[in-house]
Each structure stands twice: as C-alpha cells, then as structure tokens.
Amino acid sequence: MRQEPRLPSVYRLVTVGRSDDAAETARSLARGGAEDGTLVWAKPDQSGHAAEDFACALILMPECALSTAVQLTYVGALGLAEALASLLPPAPLVFAWPSTVLLGRARLAEVRLETAPPPESKESKESKEGNIDWLVLCAQAHVGRRRPEEWEHLTSLCDIGGGDVTVEDVLEGFARHFLSWANRWLDDGFGPVRRSWLKRTESVGTEVTVAVGGAELTGTFIDVDPMGRLELDTDGGRRTIEIYDTPFAAPAPS
C-alpha cells in the first residue's frame, strides 16, 4: 500500500476526498486562520478512477500587494511543469499565458490563483496595492488516459508516456519544485522566474486570445513585462494585461 506523500516540512497536508473541492476547502481554511503552507489535496479513492486527475490547493501568505503576489501564478506554473517533466520521458512542455501547461496544443495542466480581497474595496485600483491576507494557489493536472474525443485539446501523463505515474508522484514533485521556485522568487525577485517562463513558451510573436474582464482580446504576444503583465499588440494599439484582470487570478468566491 502506498505510504502518505513525502513532502518538505514547510507544508501541512490536509487531505479531502476526490468528490470534495480542494480549492473550496482551502478557502474555508484560510478564512479560518490556517497557516501559510497548508496544502489541501484531493486524495484518490481505491477504485483507480481517481487517477484521472491531480488537484491540490495551497494557502500562501506572501506579505505583499496583489500586484506583486500574482507573480506566484508563474512560480506555480514553473513548479508544476518541472514536476511533470521530471516524471515523463523527454517531452516539449510549453506554457500558454499565464499558467497553462501544454504539449503541442493539448492542455496537460494548469495553475490559477484565488485571492482574498484586501480591506479596501476590491473593485478599486488601490485594492491592488494593499497587502493581501492570503491567496490560494490551485494546481491541476491530467494523469489518467483521456478519451479519444478529447485528444485534440487535452492530454495526460498516461497518454505521453507516464503510465506508471501516480497522483502521489505529482503531488510530491509539485511540492518540491514549487518550493524551490518560491524561494528563488523571494530571494531574487521576479527576474529569474520571468526568464525561465519565457523559455518555456512559444507564444512570443504569435497571435493569442486572452480572457479579460469577461471578454476576449486578441493580439500579438509581445512580452511579459518585469511585473508579470502581458504586453499585447492589438488592432487598437498596445495593451498591458494584468493577471488579476483574467480568470487566472480572481477574488475568491464569498
């Protein structure tokens, strides 16, 4: 029988059933005063079916403004991509902005943030500059084999040579690689994170469509700036897109 996952000591593991929502549980724990580093994992059951997907939600308290904290979206994407790459035969895993992990055009995994609003009105510009109380980093990856009708837009570890990989393997790898990148972000800032993320994307110079404020915006991907914002050339001119204006970093539901 598989032992409990082996995680670095900075994490406190909370296990929920597969039918439970790891993100919802993490939000509830964060509002109740849970510690930084609390990691909620949707543990598989014994049927084998639960190996279809990996899902976890990590409570973080970075003691910075939301405009800086959203850089953890990239940190999480790097941690998840490196964890998956370490479990697979060589495969060209790439990023779609800001935190979707692709093989070719098929989605393998994704990271998103849910943020607690600061004391100010969460609709105001000032709210983006006040320190946040907590945020939840949600990570998800496809592990089990996909159905043929999904192959065009989804793939899984099993489909690309990781047939022996378990969700426990993904959890352990993500915990280690995320911690490594989070420490580097804390020590050296966003620069190394930004450079490593850009090395793993094929989007620069291509046309992309992003969801912004409930609508879609299409343009040429120019760069990710030193704050983590997307620079996009559109028919209406250059646009700078904040992650917190996209579904990848949204205020947590009340």
pLDDT digits (tens, 9 = 90+) for 214-237: 889 999 999 999 999 999 999 999
Q: Is residue 135 part of a domain?
A: yes
Provide the CATH number for the domain around residue 128: 3.30.930.10
Indicate whether 144 belongs to any domain. Answer: yes
pLDDT tens digits for range 154-187? 787 877 766 678 899 999 999 999 999 999 999 9
Measure the CA–CA gap between 247 and 51, rounded to whole angstroms: 26
| CA angle, 145 then 88 then 54, to 5° | 50
DSSP secondary structure string for all residues of 67-80: HHHTTHHHHHHHHH
Domain count, the chain: 1
For residues 139 and 104, the model is more confident at 139
Containing structural domain, residue 194 = 12-202
pLDDT tens digits, 107-118: 999 999 998 765
In a domain, 228, yes or no: no
Coil vs helix vs strand at 103: strand
Taking the CA atoms of residue 94, residue 96, residue 99 and residue 103 in that order, the dihedral angle to the nearest 10 degrees is: -40
- pLDDT band for position 144 (cuts 50, 70, 90): confident
In a domain, 75, yes or no: yes
Note whether residue 237 is domain-resident.
Answer: no
Q: Check if the beta carbon of residue 124 is closer than 8 Å to that of residue 94.
A: no
List beta partners, residue 174.
none
pLDDT tens string 61-99: 999 988 899 999 999 999 999 999 998 888 789 999 999
> Tell me, what's the pLDDT at 103?
86
Instruction: Decide if 242 is inside a domain.
Output: no
- Asked whether residue 244 carries a pLDDT value surpassing 70, the answer given is yes
| Residue 184 covered by a domain | yes
CB-CB neighbours of 17 under 10 Å: 10
| Residue 79 counted as domain residue | yes
